[in-house]
A and B are shown apart, each in its own frame.
Chain A
Amino acid sequence: MLAPNAFRQHRVDHLLIAQMVAPGSRVLDVGCGDGALLQLLADTKEVDGRGIEVSRERVNACVARGLSVIQGDADRDLDDYPDGAFDYAILSLTIQATRQPKAVLEQLLRIGRRAIVSFPNFGHWRVRSQLLLTGRMPVNEHLPDSWYVSPNAHLCTIKDFVDLCRVVDARVERAVAFNSWGRQLGTWIPLTAHNMLGEKAVFMLARK
């Protein structure tokens, strides 16, 4: 179970994903980084978790802490998995760094009965104002790298992502946006406001 100070230890999108995932389910975390989400899901939901991570150092660190992680690439290695192999295929803050977001999302929906995707919202007002006022690509705590070293090849807004879901024929089961203070925006707010106020978004999708 989560400790009371979990909110300080864990990323808000991770905590939300941990809420979405059913206990004991099979989970694939694509781009699992240092394994924080997998560890959280193992600790709180006792999932059968696997990870794919592109950085060799991070993979080795994950395996050393007892997580089942392989070195691999979301763009290349998802092909290997059979249809419906997992209850959830998760892409947390990774889709913007893939070469082919559409193909990757289609793979997630094929491999997992559900896909959970979180991403930084490029439509957030601070991003917009940075671009508008400075005339330069935004750099902030969620988008820390300059454009020429950033791994983020395909940034999108919440509205853009909703469009992509339509293109790949995915049903949006849940969509949550977080504001700059890590608070969930109310579901009654219209999409345009989410797109303006949400700094990060988490979507749970299923095949139609």
Chain B
Amino acid sequence: MNTVDQRELPSDARVLEADRPSSKYIDIPASQALRLDCDQRLGPFRIAYETYGELNAAKSNAILVCHALTGDQYVASKNPVTGKPGWWETMIGEGKPIDTNRFFVICPNILGGCLGSTGPASINPETGKAWGLGFPVITIGDMVDAQVRLIDHLGIEQLFCVAGGSMGGMQVLEWAARYKERVFCAMPIATAAWHSSQNIAFHEVGRQAVMADPDWCQGRYQEFGKTPRNGLAVARMAAHITYLSEEALHRKFGRSLQDLSAKSFSFNADFQVESYLRHQGSTFVDRFDANSYLYITRAMDYFDLAAEHGDVLANAFKGTKTRFCVVSFTSDWLYPTRESRDIVQALNAVAANVSFVEIESDKGHDAFLLDEPELFATVTGFLNAAAAKRGLTPAKGKR
């Protein structure tokens, strides 16, 4: 770690967290290097993670929560960079649907992320500089393989549940496909078994915006003490639109003007929706690394669970004993219900134990992160039934 040259780096919290996470972490030695899907080896590497609740003696009550594109390990505790509450605190905590009185929740920062797990913003031990574009292109499968090292380290043979939304859901599916025996039940939420052409297209817009920013410096901005703020902010603005729905945008903003009584006849943020998006863009830049954004969006684009299994999605789940609960939202046009149905269809084709719930919401893709009582009821019911099958006792103080 003495290779970090502070003079070349902006000393903000985000950059510090990339190499010195305030969460727990494990360093995987080179002897346990990952064989990545691109055929390169990666190791040593670090996985930063948080845990909530207690692992029982039988190590049978662990729930792995996989985060989405711009998520992190702070799923149910304060994010050290933004100071904001955990991103799924509505779902996870004492007495919540994923009840930490009963379950041991593990949330790792993904491989390629920028809050402590090894990624392009981390220092490459071989060069002493940030990996930048020298970081290998990773896949969802690689992220999962890296998480397996963490689960091994924690001595957990079988996870009680793997859960996650959006890209987190992709990891859930990959876990269920690659490590069938190690997943008792799985909750892929608002996700798909492959990234659609439209989704790849949106990601490409985002990446091009980052790379068009002169401060990106061909990916070497950290060396020059710069940040491609504008490019990354535009990428986030475009992506943010895809997380909402037309109805939600209209309800929230309509055509209302921002602190104005009349149009300004300029290119200022006249409309509330513009001002909102600009705010989303600029706060995102403060907490996320631009190269990380490139790598993770790429990993999502490459995700195609059917292609990994001879173009037949059902093959990915052949012989599975895992209990599945697939969830989609009516107004999610980024990962529409149709794509969840494809997953359900494949699971039915192997007669897997599957529940599928489509939840009515006008909040778009982001609904999975929001206060959706029907989602909470689904998760609670599914986990309770699965826990009974697994022989887990109810939470303390509740019968």
Q: Interface of A with B (CB < 8 Å)? A: 26, 48, 50, 56, 59-60, 62-72, 77, 80-82, 85-86
Contact = CB atoms under 8 A, between A and B. Distances in A.
Nearest to B360: A56
Interface in B358-399: 358-360, 374, 377-378, 380-382, 384-385, 388
Given A63-B325, A65-B381, A70 B355 contact: yes
Given A56-B360, A80-B349, A81-B349, A64 B354 contact: no
Given A60-B377, A81-B349, A82-B349, A66 B360 contact: no
B248 interface: no
B354 A50 contact: yes
A70 B328 CA distance: 12
A81 B356 contact: no
B32 interface: no
B323 interface: yes
22 contacts: A50-B354, A56-B360, A59-B357, A60-B357, A63-B355, A63-B382, A64-B377, A66-B381, A66-B384, A66-B385, A68-B323, A68-B355, A70-B356, A72-B344, A72-B356, A77-B345, A80-B348, A81-B348, A82-B349, A82-B350, A82-B351, A85-B351
A66 B388 contact: yes
A62 B381 CA distance: 9
Contacts of A86: 351
B355 to A, nearest CB: 5
Interface residues of B, number: 26
Contacts of B283: none
Contacts of B357: 56, 59-60, 63, 71
Contacts of A56: 357-358, 360
B353 A48 contact: yes
Contacts of A77: 345, 348
Nearest to B384: A66
Contacts of B382: 63, 66
Contacts of A59: 356-358
B62 to A, nearest CB: 20
Contacts of B354: 50, 68, 70
A68 to B, nearest CB: 5
A82 B353 CA distance: 13
A42 to B, nearest CB: 9
B348 A67 contact: no
A60 B385 contact: no
Most buried by A among B326, B354, B385: B385
B378 A64 contact: yes
A72 B326 CA distance: 13
Given A66-B384, A81-B348, A50 B378 contact: no
Given A56-B358, A80-B345, A68 B378 contact: no
Interface string B149-186: 00000000000000000000000000000000000000
A60 B378 contact: yes
A26 B352 CA distance: 11
B358 A67 contact: no
Contacts of A63: 325, 355, 357, 378, 381-382
A90 to B, nearest CB: 15
Given A60-B374, A70-B326, 5 more contacts: A59-B357, A66-B385, A67-B385, A68-B353, A86-B351
A68 B378 CA distance: 11
A35 to B, nearest CB: 11
A71 B338 CA distance: 12
A67 B349 contact: no
B344 A70 contact: yes
Nearest to B381: A64
Contacts of A82: 349-351
Contacts of B388: 66
Nearest to B375: A60
Interface string B221-256: 000000000000000000000000000000000000
A68 B185 CA distance: 12
Given A56-B360, A60-B378, A82-B350, A67 B345 contact: no
